Amino acid sequence: MKSQAQLFGSMMTHPRRHLGRTVFILPSLFTVSNIFCGYYAIISAMHEHYDFAAQAIGIAIILDMLDGRIARLTNSETGFGLQLDSLADVISFGIAPSVLAFCWGLTVLNYQLGWIAAFTFTICGAMRLARFNVQAGLFKHFVGLPIPAGGGAVAAVVHFWVEPVTSPLASGLLVAGIFLLAFLMISTFRYSSLKNLTLGRKSHFTILIIALLVALIYNYSDWTLLIIALTYAASGPAAKFYSMARHRRRSPEALRVQEAGKGN
C-alpha cells in the first residue's frame, strides 16, 4: 500500500510529464499548421482561387513566426523541430508562392520563361534555407532575404491585384520581380531579424506600432501588406548602398587625418 504522500507525489508527477510533452509538441503543431497552409495555397492556386492562396501564405508566415518564438520561450528547440520547420518553409514559402505566381500570370508572356522563373524562385528559396541552417546562431541578422519574406512578397502582390495577369507587359514585370526575389534570397544583403524583439515593460512604443499595424492590416490589408513586403525586400540593398556611400564619404576624411598625422 502506498502512503498518501507517495500517491500525492505520483499524481503531481504525471501532470508535469504531460505538460513537458505538450511544451515540446506545441511548436511542431504550429509547424504542421504551416505545412497545411502551404498545401492549401497550392491547391487553391491550381483551382484559380488566387486570393485564398495568398491569404493562406500570409497565415503560414504568422505560424512560422509563432512556432520559433514559442520554441525559444519554452526552451524546447530541437534538431527535429528545426528540420521540420525547414521542410515546412520550402513548401509554404518556396513551392506555394512559385505555383501561385505561375498560375496567376507568369506564363502570359512566355510559358518556358515563366516555368524557369517559378523554378528559380523555389530552388533559390531552398538554398537560402540550407544556408540559414548552416549559419543558424552565428549572426544577429539575416544574410539574404528570408524565404518567408520572399513568399510573402509574392502573396502580397497577388492579394493587392487579385485579378490574374492578362497583359504581356504585366507578365514580364512579374517574371522580373520573381527573378529579383530569387536573387535577393541567395544574396549577401543583410536583413534585420525580429528574433530579438521583446515585449517587456519598456516596450510601449513597440506595442503601439504592432497595434497600429494590426489595425491597418485589418482595414487596408491590400495596401498595408504590399508596402510592408516591398519595403522589407528593398531594405537589404538600401542598407548596403547606404553603407557604401558612407564609406566613400569617410575615406577622403580618413586620408586627410592620416596625412596630417604624418606631417606632425
Give per-residue pLDDT as tens, 101-136.
999 999 999 999 999 999 999 999 999 999 888 876
Q: What percent of the chain has pLDDT over 70?
A: 80
- For residue 93, pLDDT beyond 80: yes
pLDDT of amino acid 1: 46
Helices (H) and strands (E) in the chain, counts: 9, 2
Query: Residue 190: beta bridge partners?
Result: 143
- For residue 176, pLDDT beyond 90: yes
- For range 34-41, the mean pLDDT: 97
Dist. CA 27–CA 187, nearest whole Å: 29
**Domain 10-233 bears CATH identifier 3.30.450:** no
Report the mean per-residue pLDDT for the chain: 85
195 close to 152: Cβ distance less than 8 angstroms: no
pTM score, whole prediction:
0.84
Question: Domain limits of the chain?
Answer: 10-233
Dist. CA 76–CA 62, nearest whole Å: 19
